[in-house]
Amino acid sequence: MNQLLLRPTDVLFFKDGRPMSGSLSGHGAAWPLPTVTSAALHAALWRAGIEGVHEHRRGRSGQYSNADKDRDRKFGSLKTAGPFPVCPKGSAATWFFPRPLDAGILGEITASFLPLAKGFDRAQSSLPQPLQFAVANTEKATKDQPKSWWSEGAWNTYLGTKPRAADAGRQFFKSDSDFADTESTFGIGIDPETATQDGERFYSAHYLRLRDGWGLGCLAEAEDKEFKGKDGNNDLVKAVFPNSGSQTPVIVGGQQRLCTVRCDNPTKLPLPLGKVHGFKQEDPDGKATWLVKWVLLTPGIFPQLDAHPGGWLPSWIRHTDGAVMLKFDCTERKIGEGRTTWRKRIAEMPSIPATLVAAIIGKPIHVTGYALDNGLDDRAPGPKPTHLAVPAGSVYYFKCTDEAAAQKLAAALNWHGCGDPSTIRNRRSTLMGEKGFGLGVCGTWSFHNGQRPD
Q: pLDDT tens digits, residue range 367-379?
A: 988 777 666 556 6
Residue 20 has pLDDT above 90, yes or no: no
Q: How far apart are the C-alpha atoms of 251 and 420, rounded to whole Å?
A: 33
Pairing of strands 94-98, 79-87: antiparallel
CA distance 4 to 250: 11
Residues in the chain: 454
CA angle at residue 54 from 53 to 57, to 5 degrees?
140
Percentage of the chain exceeding pLDDT 90: 44
Same domain, 345 and 259: no
Using a 10 angstrom Cβ sphere, with 0-12 exposed, 13-18 middle and 19 or more buried, the burial of residue 214 is: buried
Q: What's the rounded Cα separation, in Å, for the pair 359 and 294?
A: 9
- Please write the tens of the pLDDT for every residue from 61-108: 555 444 455 556 788 889 999 899 999 776 578 999 999 999 977 656
Phi, psi at 357, each rounded to 5°: -120, -20
pLDDT in tens, 230-266: 777 888 888 888 865 556 789 998 888 899 998 888 8
Average pLDDT of span 435-444? 96
Asked if the structure places residue 44 within a domain, the reply is yes
Give the integer Cα–Cα distance in Å for 171 and 152.
Answer: 7
Question: Whose CA is closest to 304, among 363, 388, 368?
Answer: 388
Residues 298 and 242 in one domain: no
Same domain (yes/no): 207, 231: yes
- Does 179 share its domain with 234? yes
Count of domains in the chain? Answer: 2
Q: Which own/partner pairs from 150-154 qualify as long-range (CB within 8 Å, at least 24 positions apart)?
A: 150/96, 150/97, 150/98, 150/99, 150/100, 150/103, 151/94, 151/95, 151/96, 151/97, 152/94, 152/95, 152/96, 152/97, 152/270, 152/271, 152/272, 153/94, 154/109
- Report the mean per-residue pLDDT for the chain: 85
CA distances (Å), origin 416, targets 1, 118, 163, 167, 300 = 12, 35, 14, 21, 17
CATH number at residue 397: 2.60.40.4350
The verdict on residue 121 lying in a domain is: no
* CA distance readout (Å), 324 to 185, 200, 292, 314, 358: 49, 55, 12, 10, 13
Domain termination residue (choose one: 264, 290, 308) = 264
Same domain, residue pair 6 and 155: yes
Give yes or no: residues 344 and 316 share one domain.
yes
Distance (Å, rounded) from C-alpha 222 to C-alpha 54?
11
CATH number assigned to the domain comprising residue 18:
3.30.70
Examine the domain organization and report whether 288 and 392 are in the same domain.
Answer: yes
Tell me the pLDDT band of 268, cut-offs 50, 70 and 90: confident
Burial degree of 429 (CB within 10 A; 0-12, 13-18, 19+): buried
Instruction: Tell me: cis bond preceding 130? Omega within 30 of 0 counts.
Output: yes
| 207 and 163 together in one domain | yes
Identify whether 157 is part of a domain: yes
How do residues 198-221 score in pLDDT, each as one tens digit? 777 777 788 899 999 899 999 999
Mean pLDDT for 295-311 is: 94
Single residue among 264, 292, 322 that ends a domain in this structure: 264
**Residue 54 domain-assigned (yes or no):** yes
Strands 300-301 and 354-360: unpaired
Q: Does a structural domain hold residue 437?
A: yes
Instruction: State which residues form the domain around 210.
Output: 2-64+71-97+148-264
Which of the four pLDDT bands, split at 50, 70 and 90, describes residue 23?
A: low
pLDDT at residue 66 in the model: 47
Residue at 129 is within a domain = no
**Most confident stretch, 191-195, 285-289, 381-385:** 285-289
Residues 230 and 294 in one domain: no
113 falls within a domain:
no
Of 240, 264, 288, the position where a domain reaches its end is: 264
310 and 245 both lie in a single domain: no
Q: Give the pLDDT band (50/70/90) at residue 388.
A: very high
pTM for the full predicted model: 0.90
* Domain presence at residue 102: no
Within this chain, do residues 32 and 161 fall inside the same structural domain, yes or no? yes
Check residue 433 and give its pLDDT: 94
| Distance separating alpha carbons of residues 113 and 360, to the nearest angstrom | 9
Same domain, 198 and 292: no
